[in-house]
Structure 1
Amino acid sequence: MNAVVRRASGPLLAAMAVLAAGTATAGMFSVTPVRIYMNARERAVAVTIVNDGDSDVVLQADLNSWTQTADGTDQLAPTDDLILAPPIIKIPPKARQVVRLALLTPPDLSRQLTYRVVVREVPEARPQPPAEGLRTPIALALSLPVFITPPGARRQVECTPVRTEANAPALSCRNNGNAYAQLRDAQLTRDDRPLARFEGGTYILPGATKLIALKTDTAVPSGQARLSLTFDDGQGSTTSVALP
């Protein structure tokens, strides 16, 4: 999977990509992997950054703990649990550099630890063409999720059909487990006919509940239906539910 973050104009702007797997590209640099897994025994992992451009690129990383409120809102806070070496990365054109992301705190054996590493370009270090009027440097960033997972940690997701204020169908999904869940696909069907669907990718961290809007072309009547869920690892479930 390749994801692209394009340059934007206007006030200082950070373009953030939340990605599932593969390589992420911002401007002319790429990062692999874009989702980082470590088990309880690992203390460090390698991250490869490639500069595909024709000039030097200077990057720095912000290390954050990642939690969600009870309603599923993401919260990031600077953390000293992780360290990236080196913290400032300068890569010549058409070159690559391997950096090390290390965990400094002991892993939690009762639950998964979740972080986000925000790798961003330092725009002031980028060669600039001759100025024609006032220009504002633009910072581009990639947000990489990091999961430190102890043995036996599992998601446990329960989704219940609800209605929004506009009477549109939605799902209220809660993760009662001790590891993240990323819902990739959800389908409501009745008598093998599609009623509503979610496609994309949304994270639900342990203890959080998210309201997930469903797409539909017609009004969805109340009654019994089948709910099929698919997660990022390809596993899923199908259950009978009641539409309000």
Structure 2
Amino acid sequence: MKKLIVIALLVLMSGVSHAASSVLVWPIFQVIEADQHGSALWLENRGGQPVRLQIRILAWQQQDFRDRYADQREVVASPPFATIPPQQRQLVRLIRTGAPPQEGEQAYRIILDEIPDANVPVAKNSAGLRLQMRYVLPLFLDGQGVWTQTRNDVRRDPTTVSQPQLHWQWVTQQGKTVLRIRNTGKVHARLSQVFWGREPDASKATFTLAKGFLGYVLAGQSMQFPLPPGKSVPIEGTLYARLTDNGPAVALSP
């Protein structure tokens, strides 16, 4: 089953949020492998008014423990603009313009921005504020021999899946404690359900840093995540995290 996310486009009027329209987007995890030239992104307008969107793709790196984005030419969205009528779908093709990465993967962000309709009048008693939709999706270009997702057209040995290599440490900066995670592998890590315990069972955790999604650590990069206020650094147990939504929790090495 395709994984879907509903994106609500809201208009703020008189302190009350009203759903102006909603857009369904799938698949939300985009990958273009070395033998593929592109990928498909579907947008569906579930609302009652046309929705106009701009689709951009930015290079994604992590520097100084922050996400950094930049213009690039390695992959493009076609079309870069789309007006989707009510109850209709729009196919956006994500096209690799050059050769695949020589090794590992390259990371990008797909940015979907709503373009407001200047012809739609602001309702009376409105503060005149409009909340524009912006949604950000990950996109990865895989090099030869790299794979992170299953494909219906390719038979694969699950033991050969590309994995991140993660190492962690506690770091104190300006009186604040953060968890620093370094990824020395060739592919990204998507961290969720991060906890300490004696076994990989979140229900038996001795300390939980994140019950849901925590963040990405790109290949060859490091990121930091703050210790929640009022929490002390766990002194025992193993650090576990899920690297995929449906996968088991795995142990991370110090």
Alignment of 1:149 onto 2:142:
yes
Aligned partner of residue 120 in structure 1, secondary structure: strand
Aligned to 2:77: 84
Cα displacement (A) at 1:238:
2.9
**Cα distance in 1 for residues equivalent to 2:251 and 2:45:** 44
Aligned to 1:18: none
Aligned residues: 224
Q: Judging changes above 3 Å, is the alpha-carbon distance between structure 1 residues 35 and 193 closer, same or farther for their aligned structure 2 residues?
A: closer
The residue identity in structure 2 corresponding to 1:91 is I
1:7 matched to 2:10 = yes
Q: Look up the equivalent residue of 2:44 and give its one-letter code.
A: V
Show structure 2 runs of 5+ residues with no match.
Answer: 14-18, 147-161
- TM normalised by structure 2 equals 0.74
CA distance in 2, matches of 1:227, 1:127: 52
Q: 1:96 to 1:125 in 2, by over 3 A?
A: farther
Which residue number corresponds to residue 232 of structure 1?
A: 244
Which residue of structure 1 lines up, in the alignment, with residue 40 of structure 2?
46
Distance in 2 (CA, whole Å) between partners of 1:26 and 1:229 is: 37
Q: Deviation at 1:217? A: 6.9
Q: CA deviation at 1:27?
A: 4.2
Q: What displacement does 1:165 show?
A: 5.4
Instruction: Report if aligned partners of 1:197, 1:216 keep a CA contact under 8 Å in 2.
Output: no
Alpha-carbon distance change, 188 to 96 in structure 1, aligned in 2, over 3 angstroms? same
Identity %: 24
- Deviation of residue 140 (structure 1)? 1.3
Q: CA deviation at 1:190?
A: 6.1
Which range moved further: 29-38 or 211-220? 211-220
SS in 2 for 1:28: strand
CA distance in 1, matches of 2:248, 2:126: 54
- Considering only aligned residues, what root-mean-square deviation do their CA atoms show, in Å? 3.2
The answer as to whether partners of 1:84 and 1:99 remain within 8 angstroms in 2 is yes
**C-alpha displacement of 1:200:** 2.8
Structure 1 unmatched ranges of 5 or more: 11-24
Match of 1:37, as an amino acid? V
SS at match of 2:73: coil
User: Quick check: 206-215 or 187-196, which moved more?
Assistant: 187-196
Q: Post-superposition shift, 1:134?
A: 6.9
Residue 128 of structure 2 corresponds to 135
Taking a change above 3 Å as real, the CA distance of residues 78 and 190 of structure 1, as seen in their structure-2 partners, is same
Give the counterpart letter for 1:237 in structure 2: V
Match of 1:104 among 97, 106, 109: 97
> C-alpha distance in 2, partners of 1:221/1:100?
46
Matched, 1:31 2:15: no
Would you say the 8 A contact 1:107–1:148 is kept in 2? yes
Question: 1:116: which partner in 2?
Answer: 109
Determine if the alignment matches structure 1 residue 56 to structure 2 residue 50: yes
1:184 is aligned to 192
Question: How many angstroms does 1:46 deviate by?
Answer: 1.3
Q: Secondary structure at the match of 1:124?
A: coil
Counterpart-to-counterpart distance in 2, 1:231 and 1:218: 24
Counterpart amino acid of 1:83?
V
C-alpha separation in 2, matches of 1:80 and 1:52:
32
The one-letter code of the counterpart of 1:55 is: Q
Rate the CA distance shift 1:63–1:125 in 2: closer, same or farther, 3 A: farther
SS at match of 2:206: strand
The residue that corresponds to 2:167 in the other structure is 158
* 1:21-43 Cα distance to aligned partner (Å, 9 max, x none): xxxx9941121112211111111
Q: CA deviation at 1:45?
A: 1.3
Q: Within the alignment, does 1:211 sit opposite 2:214 as a pair?
A: no
Letter paired with 2:187? A
**What is the alpha-carbon distance in structure 1 between the residues aligned to residue 253 and residue 111 of structure 2?**
40
- 2: CA distance between counterparts of 1:221 and 1:125? 53
Distance 1:48 1:195, change over 3 A: closer
